[in-house]
Structure 1
Amino acid sequence: MVIRGTDLIRAMEAWAPPSLAVEKDRIGLQVGDPRQKVRGVLCTLDVTEGVVEEAVQSGANWIIAHHAVIFNPVQTLRTDQPKGRLYAKLIKHDINVFVAHTNLDTAVDGVNDVLCEKLGIHNTRVMMPITEDQLKKLVVFIPRSHHEQVLQAISEAGAGWIGNYSHCTFNLEGIGTFMPREGTNPYIGKQGALERVEEVRLETVVPQRLQQQVVQAMLDAHPYEEPAYDIYPLELEGIPHGLGRVGELPREMTLKELAEKMKEAYRIPRLRMVGDPAARVKKAAVLGGSGGRYYPTAKKMGADVYITGDVDFHIAQDAMADGICLLDPGHHVEHLVLERVADKMREKLKDVPVVVSRTDTNPFQFI
């Protein structure tokens, strides 16, 4: 089976849809042709000349990046200058670049969830909601022989989540009737004869953004030529999606203990700390990237410590005066999500080689 760029894009957008990105973010396919065959994928935080050379040497013709390769409007394409040289190299080697930025920050199992996971932060909630995913109720009638098959298929497609519980369904047995008419090809029964079948009515919840893929998974797993199903809107609070997470550390610890734990978990030699090293911290807020200006939101949500990158001098002073601790591991720790990106793409793209870039794009060194 030939895997094309459209398949890669569909897989990424099912996980981190464009609707989760902040307004005017530069995301999606930035360089290349979506119809081009995917021979190999390189996952990276940034697209630099070194990363492009790595893609060329590894045989990867698709790059999945977190940061945009084209952010500001391009005024010229001079190949004697760094940006022009970079774009020329991408085009010369037919390398396509797909970008998932704030939509990957926001997505479930994306940047912020990975950063929390590395520190054992649990019971998390969204720090700054961007959008709310409305819930739908899916009801489908399944012959008993295929009930488990359909249940697993829709659950794996994203249906049935309530809080941190998956595969949440309600199932009721009954008798279904139907009469196949001329031109049909029934899985059960014969044309012109009323059929009675032992069926299961399965009910579950589906986030609106996943409705299409869940329904498709149901149709693919269902044995009937024309499955009977209904979708209802629900007047329930939707699922919030947004930047940052606030949750509980595995145990109360000192700020210095957390800083040491973070250096190991995030694989960094140093970090910047604001606050009393002996301060006790239990509730933590995390926002990958450059989030210093949002510390008041973290404080308002009860965080003892706020973990983010690129904190400037005056924000650090203000946070200290406001009584919230800060830990700045740098912007580059977002690279920790790349292994998760690679794992998901390996699962979706099957036999296509997918690797994480070994090129260090962090411009800072510690001496």
Structure 2
Amino acid sequence: MPVQLADVITALETAYPPGLAEPWDAVGLVCGDPAEPVARVLVCVDPVESTVDEALELGADLLVAHHPLLLKGVHGVPADSTKGKLVHRMIRAGVALFCAHTNADSASPGVSDALAEAIGLRVLRPLSPTAEGADTGLGRIGELPEPEPFARFVERVSAALPETRPGVYGAGDPDREIRTVAVSGGSGDSFLATAKAAGVDAYVTADLRHHPAGEHLEAGPSVPALVGVTHWASEWPWCGQASAVMRAALAGTVDIHVSTRCTDPWTIRA
């Protein structure tokens, strides 16, 4: 029998339980009929025009995205609105949309595990666990196989993640020895104090803001050095992880692809 959308949803929600999502989040099936068959899936970070285009070009039946399309409450999805247009395009083409956001962030393994693995870290524990001793939670703390200078570590992060216009930037002593590292896929400067308390050598995350980062570094040379990446780049490794989840659960019955389109908003670096 063909795989149904409901089967794919079961696989994804087993790996990324909806109960792990933050209370403000909007996860799960956005559009699509759970009883419909699924033969081809595209996985992406952002459900935007570019990735919807890619799904249609690929002939996908399902688009699995990390970020929600409709995060804030809406009263309608008219086709002349930006997001409504995407909903109408997908429904007309028979493409379902499923989103796994903060539930995928907190799951084990989840978004930050994928980021840590890409960098070459051995994960030790969550940065901010859901409960004491839990292996679920936001962010991860890991360690490198061998210590290396901070400048080389920044190069390691840059080589591990897809290229973006803003690139990768570091803040800290280039010669500082780095062994233990905290990572948080997506916007993570709210965990600067948590990373400091964990006593790691460096912290990798996205969307670092000027004042929080500056105040963190002013505390002295013992605080974690910072590595800033773009939001999309920090979460893109999860696409491969989610693909592996579906391949394992669906036993090769579905054709699964990872989007190769950069959905960072930044396109020019002067």
The amino acid that maps onto 1:70 is L
Instruction: Give deviations 1:69-88, integer Å, cap 9, x for gaps.
Output: 11112244332332221121
Separation in 2, partners of 1:123, 1:363? 30
Query: 2:55 maps to what in 1?
Result: 55
Query: 1:42 maps to what in 2?
Result: 42
Alignment of 1:1-367 (within 5 A): 1-131=1-131, 239-268=134-163, 270-322=167-219, 323-333=223-233, 334-349=235-250, 350-367=252-269
Separation in 2, partners of 1:316, 1:360? 26
SS in 2 for 1:250: strand
Separation in 2, partners of 1:52, 1:267? 20
Structure 1 residue runs of 4 or more that deviate by more than 4 Å after TM superposition: none
Q: Number of aligned pairs?
A: 262
Change (3 A) 1:282 1:241: same
Bigger radius of gyration: 1
Separation in 1, partners of 2:178, 2:138? 22
Instruction: Give deviations 1:175-234, integer Å, cap 9, x for gaps.
Output: xxxxxxxxxxxxxxxxxxxxxxxxxxxxxxxxxxxxxxxxxxxxxxxxxxxxxxxxxxxx
Quote the offset at 1:123 in angstroms.
4.7
**Structure 1 alignment gaps of length 5 or more:** 133-237
Q: Is 268-277 or 240-249 further displaced after alignment?
A: 268-277
SS in 1 for 2:236: helix
Separation in 2, partners of 1:45, 1:240? 23
Separation in 1, partners of 2:190, 2:142? 19
SS in 1 for 2:80: coil
Q: TM-score, normalised by structure 2?
A: 0.91
Quote the offset at 1:11 in angstroms.
0.5
**Structure 2 alignment gaps of length 5 or more:** none
Instruction: Give deviations 1:236-287, integer Å, cap 9, x for gaps.
Output: xx64310011121222222111001111111335212222222222211000
Note if contact 1:39-1:59 (Cα within 8 Å) is conserved in structure 2: no
Note if contact 2:204-2:228 (Cα within 8 Å) is conserved in structure 1: yes
SS in 1 for 2:39: coil
Note if contact 1:291-1:308 (Cα within 8 Å) is conserved in structure 2: yes
Identity rate of aligned residues, in percent?
A: 35
Judging by fraction of residues, say which structure has more strand.
1
SS in 1 for 2:260: coil
SS in 1 for 2:205: strand
Separation in 1, partners of 2:91, 2:268? 35
SS in 2 for 1:285: strand
Quote the offset at 1:131 in angstroms.
4.2
Q: TM-score, normalised by structure 1?
A: 0.68
Note if contact 2:106-2:137 (Cα within 8 Å) is conserved in structure 1: yes
